[in-house]
């Protein structure tokens, strides 16, 4: 009986590590998976080489950090991923061989624009929360489903102590290189909560430092 139980446990562990084909890979709340690209082929509109090309995978972010992709679903040897590009919400299908090892996160970041507050949850439980500054009415922080791509040391001034690069894009953001919606510190904590930015999400330096410590790469972000 013990041997049978042990065998079942090993099988379950293997299935958990590498989901079967046709299975959802991320629920973007309590369990999500992401990967670095290993090949720079095209993402397509459907899981087929005949489908329309959507975007080409890339190895680096705008800031020169390793690019990564949030995996949503696997079907017939293809993986649907979120794409860090305009328009926001873009998705594409890539062959499983284009991606490296799937990595797991159990965190999710919620950003509520009306309440001007953010929450980080791990396995559904709140582990961090703070007031935020968001985009002005003319340059709003975009709503939708995104994810964390990189974590950068801030400049100590405009971007505060830390900056977090996301897969969201704004018409005009504070982020160098143009358009990326970042979550970062600030040298103007008096503007939080509020609407001081061009699309980025601002936190006090104390709050963004605490967030970075708890926020793994690949964490899904829900802005609403």
30: tokens are: 């309590």
Domain boundaries, the chain: 19-104, 105-223
Under 8 Å between Cβ of 186 and 198:
no
Instruction: Convert the pLDDT of each residue in 171-217 to its tens digit.
Output: 765 555 558 999 999 999 999 999 999 899 999 999 999 999 999 99
Bridge-based pairing state of the strands 69-75 and 125-131: unpaired
Q: Which residues pair with 172 in a beta bridge?
A: none
Query: What does pTM read for this prediction?
Result: 0.87
Residue 144 Rama label (left phi>0; alpha psi -120 to 50; beta): left
Q: Which residues pair with 182 in a beta bridge?
A: 165
Domains 19-104 and 105-223 share a fold: no
Instruction: Domain 105-223: give its CATH superfamily.
Output: L,D-transpeptidase catalytic domain-like (2.40.440.10)
Instruction: Convert the pLDDT of each residue in 71-111 to its tens digit.
Output: 999 999 999 999 999 999 999 999 999 999 999 999 999 99
Residue 206 Rama label (left phi>0; alpha psi -120 to 50; beta): alpha
45: tokens are: 């509109």
Instruction: Domain 19-104: give its CATH superfamily.
Output: SH3 Domains (2.30.30.40)
Instruction: Convert the pLDDT of each residue in 124-143 to its tens digit.
Output: 999 999 999 999 988 899 99
Please report the pLDDT score of residue 13 as a whole number. Answer: 40
Rounded distance between C-alpha atoms, residue 86 and residue 93, angstroms: 16
Bridge-based pairing state of the strands 180-184 and 201-202: parallel
Under 8 Å between Cβ of 205 and 144:
no
Backbone angles phi, psi at 192, to 5 degrees: -115, 130
Q: Which of 105, 106, 75 is nearest to 92 (CA)?
A: 75
195: tokens are: 């609407």
């Amino acid at each position: 009986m013990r041997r049978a139980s042990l065998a079942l446990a090993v099988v379950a562990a293997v299935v958990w590590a590498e989901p079967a084909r046709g299975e959802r890979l991320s629920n973007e709340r309590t369990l999500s998976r992401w990967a670095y690209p290993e090949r720079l082929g095209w993402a397509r509109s459907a899981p087929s080489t005949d489908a329309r090309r959507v975007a080409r995978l890339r190895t680096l972010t705008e800031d020169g950090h390793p690019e990564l992709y949030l995996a949503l679903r696997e079907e017939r040897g293809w993986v649907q991923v979120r794409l860090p590009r305009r328009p926001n919400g873009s998705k594409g299908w890539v062959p499983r061989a284009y991606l490296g090892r799937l990595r797991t996160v159990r965190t999710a970041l919620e950003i509520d624009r009306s309440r001007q507050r953010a929450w980080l949850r791990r396995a559904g439980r709140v582990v961090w929360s703070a007031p935020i500054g968001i985009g002005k009415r003319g340059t709003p922080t975009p709503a939708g489903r995104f994810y964390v791509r990189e974590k950068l040391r801030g400049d100590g001034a405009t971007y505060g102590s830390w900056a977090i690069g996301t897969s969201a894009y704004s018409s005009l953001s504070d982020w160098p290189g143009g358009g990326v919606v970042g979550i970062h510190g600030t040298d103007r904590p008096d503007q939080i909560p509020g609407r001081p930015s061009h699309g980025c999400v601002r936190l006090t330096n104390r709050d963004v430092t605490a967030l970075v410590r708890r926020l793994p790469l690949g964490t899904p972000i829900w802005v609403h």
